């Protein structure tokens, strides 16, 4: 994709330059700066719309130079082995993430790993509605964010860097699993690439990663350990040594085992992430509180609880609940955000009636990338200029002509029936004259049949 390889190489080279300069390795910093400069010079003509392309030879040259520089930086970098390895891995995190995800998904779908295809991160982002330039800029931001995290980790200390790195890995994994839901295999045509499958049956049952299985339990295990570690770091201002470290190590196994048991017993692994709601969040908060209480009791029985700080367990409960709910709701937030992106090929829909049925129609539209809700029409003066789920009320049913032209609507879905009479007839007539298909909400949600009159059927 135009500008992607050169931009990521430039960001990685610049980050490695900063890293080596901070460590006092001037020669390695110059090499990183040279890589970044070469990539920036190439990017001038390679950014979308590109006029030159680097091909395999150029990309392999950049990859070899960055890999070699990263190894040399790790060898002579931080004195701590963990930080020495973490920094270059974080700087090159996006290429590692892309390669890992593509390898896993291709293997799950029975495809050769070495076979090229349009199944990389950038292609999946474009399939979800981003423009090519927007997808490349988003990946630039992710690469720069991971690189910055790696540089900052040098100054955070081992335990803080460990917790921050674990959270970053969890976030990247969740983002990768979300992107893996986009259909990129199947039909040999390009249309298969541009059809996201969010909310539909994915390939190779990748959706089972979010089921009540081992993968989600491993995720929660990491979140339990990270939240407990962060609770100690916050309570004791980053000083996790001596007796504090002994207490943490002695009580962590109890927290991990008991919290996982409570989560399983409470049915926390039965919810579907795609339809996560506030009731699910409340259920998880209660389960998290129950796990904390049982863990405190177990630690008090087995160990000398008098030396433990009570506030650590309160902070741990708050952090773990936030991470638990945040991990589940991330899927819904990403789905809703990508569904709101404007797509040139989407069907633009006006909804008549900003009420309960109108909200149901809106939710249905926002989960289908083939449709886009552009506004509401409602006769209530109290609802004018209001918003429902981010979609504005643009006027009343009498404003159908101006609103339909302004929004370029293709269809109208009537959630609140219009009163029979002159206003109803005028509304139907204007929709027909504008070539806007008019449907009843119940029919739209079930069979997607045309509203009222067969004469209103139109093809675009």
Interval 266-282 mean pLDDT:
84
Out of 61-70, 248-257, 264-273, which region has the weakest mean confidence (pLDDT)?
Answer: 264-273
Residue 459 confidence (pLDDT):
36
Q: How confident is the model at residue 130 (pLDDT cuts 50, 70, 90)?
A: confident
Q: How confident is the model at residue 118 (pLDDT cuts 50, 70, 90)?
A: confident
| Tokens 């395999």 -> residue | 56
Q: What are phi and psi of 105, to 5 degrees?
A: -65, -40
Which residues, in sequence order, are bridge partners of residue 439? Answer: 413
Domain end point (choices 100, 125, 154): 154
Q: Are residues 42 and 128 in the same domain?
A: yes
Residue 165 inside a domain? The answer is: no
More confident residue, 199 or 434: 434
Q: How confident is the model at residue 190 (pLDDT cuts 50, 70, 90)?
A: very low
Q: Which string of b and e fits 153-174 if b means at least 16 CB within 10 Å?
A: bbebeebbbbbbbbbbebebbb
Residue 386 has pLDDT above 80, yes or no: yes
Residue 77 confidence (pLDDT):
54
Residue 148 confidence (pLDDT):
93
**CB distance 146 to 171 below 8 Å:** no
Residue 128 has pLDDT above 80, yes or no: yes
More confident residue, 366 or 164: 164
Q: Are residues 287 and 233 in the same domain?
A: yes
Residue 204 confidence (pLDDT):
45
Query: Total domain count for the chain?
Result: 3
Residue 175 has pLDDT above 80, yes or no: yes
Residue 133 inside a domain? The answer is: yes
Residue 326 confidence (pLDDT):
93
Q: Are residues 137 and 230 in the same domain?
A: no
Residue 214 inside a domain? The answer is: no
Interval 413-424 mean pLDDT:
83
Residue 40 confidence (pLDDT):
94
Q: How confident is the model at residue 79 (pLDDT cuts 50, 70, 90)?
A: low
Residue 39 has pLDDT above 90, yes or no: yes
Q: Are residues 16 and 102 in the same domain?
A: yes
pLDDT digits (tens, 9 = 90+) for 202-229: 444 444 444 446 788 889 999 999 999 9
Residue 397 inside a domain? The answer is: yes
Residue 96 has pLDDT above 70, yes or no: yes
pLDDT digits (tens, 9 = 90+) for 275-329: 788 888 999 999 999 999 998 888 888 876 667 788 899 999 999 999 999 998 9
Residue 418 has pLDDT above 50, yes or no: yes
Residue 213 inside a domain? The answer is: no
Residue 349 has pLDDT above 50, yes or no: yes
More confident residue, 453 or 14: 14
Any long-range contacts for 73-79 (C-beta under 8 Å, 24+ apart)? Answer: 73/16, 73/19, 73/20, 73/23, 73/25, 73/28, 76/23, 76/25, 76/28, 77/19, 77/20, 77/23, 78/23, 78/154
Whether this model's pTM surpasses 0.75 = yes
Q: What CATH number corresponds to the domain at position 386?
A: 3.40.50.720
Residue 454 confidence (pLDDT):
39
Residue 259 inside a domain? The answer is: yes
Which residues, in sequence order, are bridge partners of residue 371? Answer: 347
Q: Are residues 443 and 351 in the same domain?
A: yes
Residue 443 has pLDDT above 80, yes or no: no
Max mean pLDDT range (73-82, 287-296, 368-377):
287-296
**CB distance 410 to 347 below 8 Å:** yes
How far is it between the farthest Cα atoms of the chain? 83
Domain end point (choices 100, 121, 154): 154
Q: Are residues 307 and 354 in the same domain?
A: no
Residue 139 has pLDDT above 90, yes or no: yes
pLDDT exceeding 70 applies to what percent of the chain? Answer: 89
Residue 167 inside a domain? The answer is: no
Q: Are residues 322 and 246 in the same domain?
A: yes
Q: Are residues 356 and 285 in the same domain?
A: no
Residue 321 confidence (pLDDT):
95
Q: Are residues 12 and 76 in the same domain?
A: yes
Mean residue pLDDT of the chain comes to 83
More confident residue, 425 or 33: 33
Q: How many Cβ atoms are within 10 Å of 1's Cβ, its own excluded?
A: 19
More confident residue, 133 or 447: 133
Q: Are residues 18 and 129 in the same domain?
A: yes
Q: Are residues 245 and 268 in the same domain?
A: yes
pLDDT digits (tens, 9 = 90+) for 20-32: 898 888 999 999 9
More confident residue, 362 or 78: 362
Domain end point (choices 290, 313, 339): 339
Interval 387-406 mean pLDDT:
89
More confident residue, 213 or 382: 382
What domain range is 335 assigned to?
Answer: 223-339
Residue 446 inside a domain? The answer is: yes
Residue 432 confidence (pLDDT):
87
Out of 72-81, 167-176, 265-274, 425-434, which region has the weakest mean confidence (pLDDT)?
Answer: 72-81
Q: Are residues 147 and 19 in the same domain?
A: yes
């Amino acid at each position: 994709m135009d500008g992607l390889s050169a931009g990521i190489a430039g960001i990685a080279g610049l980050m490695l330059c900063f890293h080596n300069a901070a460590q006092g390795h001037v020669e390695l910093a110059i090499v990183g700066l040279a890589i970044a400069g070469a990539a920036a010079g190439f990017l001038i003509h390679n950014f979308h719309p590109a006029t030159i392309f680097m091909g395999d030879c150029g990309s392999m040259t950049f990859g070899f130079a960055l890999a070699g520089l990263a190894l040399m930086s790790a060898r002579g970098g931080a004195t701590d082995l963990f930080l020495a390895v973490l920094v270059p891995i974080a700087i090159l995190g996006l290429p590692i993430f892309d390669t890992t995800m593509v390898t896993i998904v291709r293997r799950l779908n029975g495809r050769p790993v070495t076979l090229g295809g349009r199944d990389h991160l950038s292609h999946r982002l474009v399939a979800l509605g981003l423009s090519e330039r927007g997808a490349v800029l988003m990946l630039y931001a992710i690469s720069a964010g991971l690189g910055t995290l790696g540089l900052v980790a040098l100054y955070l200390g081992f335990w803080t860097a460990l917790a921050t790195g674990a959270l970053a890995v969890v976030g990247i994994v969740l983002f990768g699993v979300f992107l893996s839901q986009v259909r990129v295999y199947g039909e040999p045509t390009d249309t298969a690439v541009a059809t996201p499958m969010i909310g539909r049956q994915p390939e190779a049952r990748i959706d089972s990663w979010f089921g009540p299985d081992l993968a989600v339990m491993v995720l929660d295990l990491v979140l339990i350990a990270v939240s407990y570690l962060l609770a100690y770091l916050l309570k004791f201002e980053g000083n996790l040594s001596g007796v504090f470290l002994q207490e943490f190590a002695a009580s962590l196994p109890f927290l991990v085992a008991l919290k996982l048991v409570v989560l399983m017993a409470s049915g926390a692994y039965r919810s579907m992430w795609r339809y996560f709601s506030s009731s699910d969040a409340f259920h998880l908060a209660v389960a998290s509180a129950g796990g904390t209480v049982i863990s405190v009791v177990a630690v008090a029985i087995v160990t000398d609880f008098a030396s433990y700080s009570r506030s650590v367990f309160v902070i741990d409960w708050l952090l773990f609940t936030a991470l638990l709910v945040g991990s589940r709701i991330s899927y819904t937030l990403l789905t809703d955000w990508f569904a709101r992106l404007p797509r040139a090929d989407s069907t633009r829909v006006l909804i008549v009636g900003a009420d309960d049925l109108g909200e149901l129609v809106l939710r249905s539209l926002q989960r289908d990338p083939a449709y886009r809700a552009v506004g509401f029409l409602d006769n209530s003066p109290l609802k004018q200029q209001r918003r429902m789920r981010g979609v504005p009320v643009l006027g009343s049913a009498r404003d159908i002509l101006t609103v339909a032209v302004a929004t370029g609507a293709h269809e109208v879905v009537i959630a609140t029936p219009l009163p029979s009479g002159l206003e109803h007839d005028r509304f139907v007539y204007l929709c027909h004259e504008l070539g806007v298909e008019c449907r009843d909400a119940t029919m739209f949600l079930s069979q997607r049949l045309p509203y009222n009159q067969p004469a209103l059927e139109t093809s675009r």
